[in-house]
């Protein structure tokens, strides 16, 4: 540890033994016997505080309840941090509450059951609109998206006058479809006919295969299933996340209560750091990823595990899980009528300072030899 500076302005190091010897010498020569024990206790405390690392000398472990829904591949960092003991390493005892439906998630938000929520941004934004004061602090990825069409449609401009499958009006999926079309130079209200389906992309993909629509967005998992059935030639991929620069929808967004962030900032920091360490661990040792997907998503097929590792661990899950402001903006648009969102902007609900602190402290340089640039 750096001590005081001397005349040449160079720091010098005080060893633990020197600190104790100096203090004990003063105690023996300058204090009477009745105060020796008191002073000795002080120097022992000082030694522990200064020279023992934080986690070793930390206060009692912090308990956290993390509410999670739904189970999806980009949640690997959360599950891995739990199973590999990375939360405990950062001084936390995390209880994961995995829910089975969006209705359960909404109820959990209304009942304030968690201090941290791992879910898609729009559900969390809905809860904020109802008065739950949550702040977005991290994002560990998104559902890989592709715009697919009939095989005879070779270019995006050939979608003019065609029917494009989408989600229900004003849903997140509908907004994503509209943004995808706009980024391809198409007006979703004039150039195509939008045909609403349910929220699941597999419904829209099946409608495409049946000839009910000409194009739709679909996640990568559905296309993998299509390939395994030998039917991939029945669709043509026109665009994807990378070509569209569109990384929203079906994401894994992490929110914390504003009270927790304000009053227990180090707890939130430890939680986010554990997520970062889990991402690095999965990239370094694939066996962890395979075990996590096997346990939490019941994926056993080697070909599917290989696909998921390439698509998510090496692809969609970021090395630096900064919160995604665009996800929040999409949710605000969807639930703008709710009173808790009046005059709210995405930036009001996002706090990237925890991630910036970890970055400035060199966490990613330690986790990766060649850290990537982050994009907020």
Q: What is the reported pTM?
A: 0.74
Give CA–CA dist 178/187, Å, rounded.
Answer: 8
Going from the C-alpha of 54 to that of each of 18, 60, 90, 91, 365, the distances in angstroms are 21, 12, 10, 9, 20
pLDDT (mean) for 75-94: 97
Say yes or no to pLDDT of 2 above 70. Answer: no
Q: Out of 39-53, 90-104, 157-171, which region has the weakest mean confidence (pLDDT)?
A: 39-53
Instruction: Convert the pLDDT of each residue in 220-276 to its tens digit.
Output: 888 888 888 899 899 999 998 778 877 666 679 999 999 999 999 999 999 999 999
In this structure, the answer to whether residues 255 and 137 fall within a common structural domain is: yes
In this structure, the answer to whether residues 269 and 357 fall within a common structural domain is: yes
Instruction: Convert the pLDDT of each residue in 189-206 to its tens digit.
Output: 999 999 998 667 888 999
Residue 60 has a pLDDT of 55
Instruction: Convert the pLDDT of each residue in 133-155 to its tens digit.
Output: 999 999 999 878 889 999 999 99
Pairing type for strands 116-119 and 253-257 reads antiparallel
In this structure, the answer to whether residues 361 and 273 fall within a common structural domain is: yes
In this structure, the answer to whether residues 105 and 158 fall within a common structural domain is: no
- Of the three residues 197, 216, 244, the one that is the final residue of a domain is 244
Half-sphere exposure of 87 (CA within 13 A, CB side): 21
What is the CATH number for 341? 3.40.190.10
Report how many helices (DSSP H) and strands (DSSP E) the chain contains, helices first.
Answer: 17, 12
What value does the mean pLDDT of the chain take?
83
In this structure, the answer to whether residues 94 and 234 fall within a common structural domain is: no
Q: What percent of the chain has pLDDT over 70?
A: 80
Domain that holds residue 156: 145-244
Higher pLDDT, 29 or 222: 222
Residue 190 has a pLDDT of 96
Whether residue 351 is contained in a domain is answered as: yes
Whether residue 63 is contained in a domain is answered as: no
Contact indicator for 97, 67 with CB cutoff of 8 Å:
yes
Whether residue 288 is contained in a domain is answered as: yes
Say yes or no to pLDDT of 359 above 70. Answer: yes
Going from the C-alpha of 144 to that of each of 246, 273, 313, 323, 372, the distances in angstroms are 10, 24, 12, 17, 20
Contact indicator for 181, 164 with CB cutoff of 8 Å:
yes
Residue 125 pairs in a beta bridge with: none
Whether residue 215 is contained in a domain is answered as: yes
């Amino acid at each position: 540890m750096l001590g005081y500076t001397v005349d040449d302005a160079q720091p010098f190091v005080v060893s633990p033994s020197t600190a104790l010897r100096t203090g004990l010498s003063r105690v023996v020569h300058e204090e009477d016997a009745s105060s020796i024990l008191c002073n000795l206790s002080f120097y022992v405390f000082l030694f522990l505080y200064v020279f023992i690392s934080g986690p070793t000398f930390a206060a009692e472990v912090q308990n956290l309840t993390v509410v999670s829904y739904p189970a999806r591949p980009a949640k690997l960092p959360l599950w891995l941090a739990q199973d590999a003991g990375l939360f405990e390493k950062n001084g936390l005892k995390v209880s994961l509450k995995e829910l089975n439906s969006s209705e359960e998630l909404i109820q959990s938000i209304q009942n304030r059951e968690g201090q941290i929520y791992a879910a898609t941004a729009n559900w969390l934004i809905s809860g904020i609109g109802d008065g739950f004061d949550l702040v977005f602090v991290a994002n560990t990825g998104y559902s890989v998206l592709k715009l697919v069409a009939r095989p005879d449609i070779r270019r995006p401009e050939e979608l003019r006058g065609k029917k494009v499958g989408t989600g229900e009006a004003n849903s997140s999926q509908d907004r994503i479809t509209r943004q995808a079309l706009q980024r391809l130079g198409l007006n979703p209200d004039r150039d195509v006919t939008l045909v609403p389906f349910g929220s699941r992309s597999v419904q829209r993909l099946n409608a495409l295969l049946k000839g009910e629509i000409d194009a739709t967005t679909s996640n990568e998992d559905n296309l993998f299933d299509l390939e395994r059935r030998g039917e991939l030639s029945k669709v043509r991929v026109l665009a994807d996340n990378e070509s569209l620069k569109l990384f929203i929808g079906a994401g894994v967004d992490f929110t914390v209560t504003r009270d927790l962030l304000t009053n227990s900032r180090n707890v939130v920091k430890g939680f986010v750091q554990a997520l970062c360490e889990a991402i690095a661990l999965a990239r370094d040792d694939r066996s962890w990823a395979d075990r996590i997907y096997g346990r939490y998503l019941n994926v056993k097929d080697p070909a599917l595990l290989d696909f998921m590792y390439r698509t998510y661990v090496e692809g969609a899950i970021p090395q630096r899980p900064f919160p995604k402001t665009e996800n929040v903006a999409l949710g605000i648009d969807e639930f703008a009528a709710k009173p808790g969102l009046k005059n709210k902007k995405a930036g009001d609900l996002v706090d990237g300072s925890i991630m910036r602190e970890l970055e400035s402290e060199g966490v990613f340089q330690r986790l990766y030899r060649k850290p990537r640039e982050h994009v907020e």
